[in-house]
Amino acid sequence: MAKSKFEYVKQFEQDDKLLSNCWIVVRIDGRAFHKFTDAYKFEKPNDERALRLMNHAAMAVLKDCPDVVIAYGQSDEYSFILRRDTDLYKRRSSKITSYITSLFTANYVHAWPQFLYTPLSRLPCFDGRCVCYPTDENVKDYLSWRQADCHVNNLYNTCFWNLVKQGKSHTEATARLAHTNSESKKNELLFQEFKTNYNTLPEIFRRGSIILWKNSLLEIQAASAAAAATALPSQQRMKLTRQLTVIHESVIPDKFWREYPGIVPSLS
């Protein structure tokens, strides 16, 4: 069989290596999640179980791919930030993007029963994109952009779904919110009409989720009574370890970047 005769088609593949020494951001989005969340009757404006499933799938990405230093998720999207100097798949854009999207999807589907209980029939699906950021400031601003977006959307959606639960149609709720284009007006609406102080709503809804490796001191478990009896001073029984952690802090203030200096060293 003339293998060589057809092999010329390999040359049509075009190089898509991402620029060296740039932060790489892969952002994935749920495909047609509007219909998907309707089909499974997700709670609106936020379904905490679904958000925790997103976080679970994202953590699997960080565990599998050590070059991801931080991830940020909200709603049906998740962003993964790869180190400037990553050489994953020789920085080939399509490979990196599809691998992360696939890994996330596999974990989302597999863990679904643990989080959402209903059996899956219609399957979820994600698509991804890949963006390069040349400076540390740019990548920090990227995360701030997504978190600011989470806030703006969540405030709006909280108002919207409260109005709907109150009995308004979607059209009525939209019309009502057209008159509250400032943030303070929406806060007021929630407070006046729904006795809700927006700032006391769960942080996971208001700020989204950040996943990172957190350093912590763990007490070493004495492996045996004998070892325990060696009576080390307590500080020597501790070891530094890192743990994958989900937090809901604001990434906008400099404080955040000083608190986690391992992510973008120049910002700490």
Write out the residues near a second copy by the rule CB under 8 A: 1-3, 5-17, 19-22, 28, 31, 60, 64, 89, 92-95, 97-99, 101-110, 120, 123-135, 138, 141-142, 144-145, 148-149, 151-152, 183, 252
Residue 107 or 209 with smaller CB distance to a second copy:
107
User: What are the phi and psi torsion angles at 73 (to 5°)?
Assistant: -130, 150
Cβ at position 107, least distance to a second copy in Å:
6
Cβ at position 200, least distance to a second copy in Å:
17
Residue 8 or 229 with smaller CB distance to a second copy:
8
Residue 47 or 149 with smaller CB distance to a second copy:
149
Cβ at position 165, least distance to a second copy in Å:
25
Q: How far apart are CA 31 and CA 123, in angstroms?
A: 10
Residue 21 or 221 with smaller CB distance to a second copy:
21
Q: Render 165-220 in DSSP notation, one character per residue.
A: HTT--HHHHHHHHHT--SHHHHHHHHHHHH---GGGS-HHHHH-EEEEEEEEEEEP
Ramachandran region, residue 176 (left: φ > 0; alpha: ψ -120 to 50; beta: rest):
alpha
Q: Cβ contacts of residue 218 below 8 Å, gap of 6+?
A: 238, 239, 241
Q: Cβ contacts of residue 242 below 8 Å, gap of 6+?
A: 213, 214, 215, 216
Cβ at position 172, least distance to a second copy in Å:
26
Cβ at position 63, least distance to a second copy in Å:
11
Cβ at position 15, least distance to a second copy in Å:
4
Residue 10 or 195 with smaller CB distance to a second copy:
10
Q: How far apart are CA 264 and CA 268, in angstroms?
A: 7
- DSSP code, position 92: B
Q: How far apart are CA 169 and CA 157, in angstroms?
A: 14
Assign 140 to helix, strand or coil.
Answer: helix
Residue 145 or 191 with smaller CB distance to a second copy:
145
Assign 75 to helix, strand or coil.
Answer: coil
Cβ at position 98, least distance to a second copy in Å:
4
Residue 91 or 246 with smaller CB distance to a second copy:
91
Q: How far apart are CA 207 and CA 202, in angstroms?
A: 9
